Chain A
Amino acid sequence: QVQLQESGPGLVKPSQTLSLTCTVSGGSISSGASYWSWIRQQPGKGLEWIGYIHHSGNTYYNTSLKSLVTISMDTSKNQFSLKLTSVTAADTAVYFCARLYGDSFDFWGQGTLVTVSS
């Protein structure tokens, strides 16, 4: 059973960089069929896909966030990470990491709330 766990600061100041890490257990992020993903949910809103990374290193980002987002991975630690630059209050959200297998997300982390505030 694959498990994912997000970690990182719960509070980020406006204009700074949001950094989160997702630790995967019960499976390898080097598995060829999986894409490792970030999704967020603003308070009271729906789900927004941010992007995902394949173990080959290929990344795919939501075009609305592309210039601000970087997703990377550390296979030695079985982790992948999200960096979102120049954050504003609109980036306040619960951030989920998830595994994309085929065309759907089959395993999710519990989510972590990140608040952007001075």
Chain B
Amino acid sequence: EIVLTQSPATLSLSPGERATLSCRASQSVSISLAWYQQKPGQAPRLLIYDASNRATGIPARFSGSGSGTDFTLTISSLETEDFAVYYCQQRTNWLTFGGGTKVEIK
């Protein structure tokens, strides 16, 4: 099973700041990596698929990069609605999720 490790666990930032979230895989997943946003009481929402492709309707301030074992989700300028928990997910070897990064208001 591929383990996805997300860091940091919590990111405290202010609106307008840049957020950089990391996801590291225990073995290569090529570009088979997705990112999700989840707000309290809601289902996750797909943000990025295949490491760097924005899903339908996702604002351009969200971007994904990386391949192999190291991936990054960047939010270029945080809006108030972006404060949430973010998960990465792979499907190269079965299917696993990372433990999540909470982006909170500083």
- A→B interface (CB under 8 Å): 46-49, 52, 60, 62-63, 96, 98, 100, 102-106, 108-111
Number of interface residues of B (CB under 8 A): 25
Is B15 among interface residues, defined by CB-CB distance under 8 A? no
Within 8 A of A (CB), among B45-81: 45-46, 49-50, 55
Number of A-B residue pairs having CB atoms within 8 Å of each other in the complex:
58
- Minimum CB–CB distance from B44 to chain A (whole Å) comes to 6
Task: Report A-chain residues with C-beta under 8 Å of the C-beta of B44.
Answer: 47, 96, 105, 108
| A104 adjacent to B87 (CB under 8 Å) | no
In angstroms, Cα B98 to Cα A52, docked, is: 19
In angstroms, Cα B36 to Cα A47, docked, is: 11
Task: Report A-chain residues with C-beta under 8 Å of the C-beta of B42.
Answer: 110
Is B22 among interface residues, defined by CB-CB distance under 8 A? no
A47-B89, A104-B50 known; 5 new pairs, CB 8 Å cut-off, are A49-B94, A60-B94, A102-B49, A108-B43, A110-B42
| B46 adjacent to A46 (CB under 8 Å) | no
Task: Report B-chain residues with C-beta under 8 Å of the C-beta of A52.
Answer: 95
Task: Report B-chain residues with C-beta under 8 Å of the C-beta of A102.
Answer: 49-50
Is B7 among interface residues, defined by CB-CB distance under 8 A? no
- Minimum CB–CB distance from A101 to chain B (whole Å) comes to 9
Task: Report B-chain residues with C-beta under 8 Å of the C-beta of A109.
Answer: 43
Task: Report B-chain residues with C-beta under 8 Å of the C-beta of A96.
Answer: 43-44
| B89 adjacent to A48 (CB under 8 Å) | no
In angstroms, Cα B41 to Cα A111, docked, is: 9
| A62 adjacent to B46 (CB under 8 Å) | no
Is B83 among interface residues, defined by CB-CB distance under 8 A? no
| B43 adjacent to A46 (CB under 8 Å) | no
